[in-house]
Structure 1
Amino acid sequence: MKRALFSLVLLTVVYALVLASFHPWDLAFGAVLSGVLLFSFRRFVFDGRPAPLPGLAGRMLAFWPFALAVVGDTIAGTWRVTKVTLGRTPLEKSGIVAVPIGDRTPVGVAVSALVATISPGEFLVEIDWDEGVMLVHTIDASDPEGVRRSHENFYTKYQRKVFP
């Protein structure tokens, strides 16, 4: 029930932001439209029926360190790419590294891929579900184990608490 209500409110707010109007009639129409969409696509969104949202308060608290870590990772990636672009650091070996998915859920894999792609110097090439790896192109693939370790540390320390 919490997940359905949270989704309804979130979709209604997105609808209001797209309209750029928080008029009560717009909010009411957005809530009805959101409810119809959630009901119509409940099998896709909730896999049959809404499951309880575990530890929503804890996940919301853990989101802020996660967001700050993403910003820090983006700044560090920007600095690395800037140094390579300006010729301060030689481009030794760029390439693709297979990063294990591990125990990530499909949403967790999507968030990991997004975080890797947001940071300059890395982007997701492909997800191989059969092999259980994300193929990530990185500007410095000279230490593939270090890249894997970095992704796993980020997931364990920041992401798992918010997007498992």
Structure 2
Amino acid sequence: MMRAVLPLPRVSLMVFVLWAVITNAASLGQLVLGAVLAIAIPLLSRDFWPAPPPLVRPWRALRFMGVFALDIVTANWRVARQIIGPLHRLSPAFVEIPLDLRDPFIATLLGSVVSLTPGTVSIHVDQQRWVLLVHALDAPDPQALIDEIKERYEQALKEIFAC
């Protein structure tokens, strides 16, 4: 019964909390509208959500989130220095990163992590060749970027989800 109304309870909770924060929900009406949205959005979109693999090592996920948060801060600083400095020193590049993982959900998650880190944008996850295409603002050594993404992110995601 509960799964029929809330097929994705975490998504419902996230929608409700985000609605309350964004609207500064100080009224009962705003909270009720947030609850309606928290029920309706997952119900309408449940067919589009892939089933994620089980989280096998949650403690590793906490460590990964810490590393990722630190990477976002340091990348913001690095990108700010790069765009304020002489632009002719930048070496933008498209880089193909061969993936060792074979789970579409985890590959998409990896692409999202790369895109959220300033200075890089994930363009495409090729599930035929298992390659992640990334655009980097500054990649004078593409192999170093490949190694960094594989070691810091892909390996950690493989450990977290045991894939």
- Judge same fold: TM > 0.5, yes or no: yes
Q: How far apart in 2 are the matches of 1:151 and 1:16?
A: 33
* Cα distance, 1:46 vs structure 2: 6.2
Identity of aligned residues (%): 22
Indicate if the aligned counterparts of 1:83 and 1:89 stay in contact, CA closer than 8 A. Answer: no
Matches within 5 A, 1:8-157: 8-17=8-17, 18=19, 33=39, 37=43, 41=46, 45=49, 54=54, 58-59=57-58, 61-87=59-85, 91-157=89-155
* Cα distance, 1:148 vs structure 2: 0.7
Change in CA separation of 1:81 and 1:105 when aligned onto 2, cut-off 3 Å? same
Deviations 1:43-102 (A, max 9, x none): x6466xxx9x7455x32x222211111111112211221221222796242111101122
Deviations 1:7-37 (A, max 9, x none): 643144235323659x9xx6xx87xx47x93
Change in CA separation of 1:15 and 1:123 when aligned onto 2, cut-off 3 Å? closer
Q: How far apart in 2 are the matches of 1:146 and 1:120?
A: 16
Q: How far apart in 1 are the matches of 2:69 and 2:128?
A: 31
Letter in 2 for 1:37: L
Runs of 5+ consecutive residues of structure 2 not aligned to the other structure: none
Q: How far apart in 2 are the matches of 1:140 and 1:117?
A: 14
Change in CA separation of 1:46 and 1:88 when aligned onto 2, cut-off 3 Å? closer
Change in CA separation of 1:137 and 1:8 when aligned onto 2, cut-off 3 Å? closer
Change in CA separation of 1:7 and 1:71 when aligned onto 2, cut-off 3 Å? farther
Runs of 5+ consecutive residues of structure 1 not aligned to the other structure: none
Give the alignment's Cα RMSD to 1 decimal. 4.0
Q: How far apart in 2 are the matches of 1:122 and 1:10?
A: 28
* Cα distance, 1:133 vs structure 2: 0.9
Instruction: Work out the number of aligned pairs and report it.
Output: 152
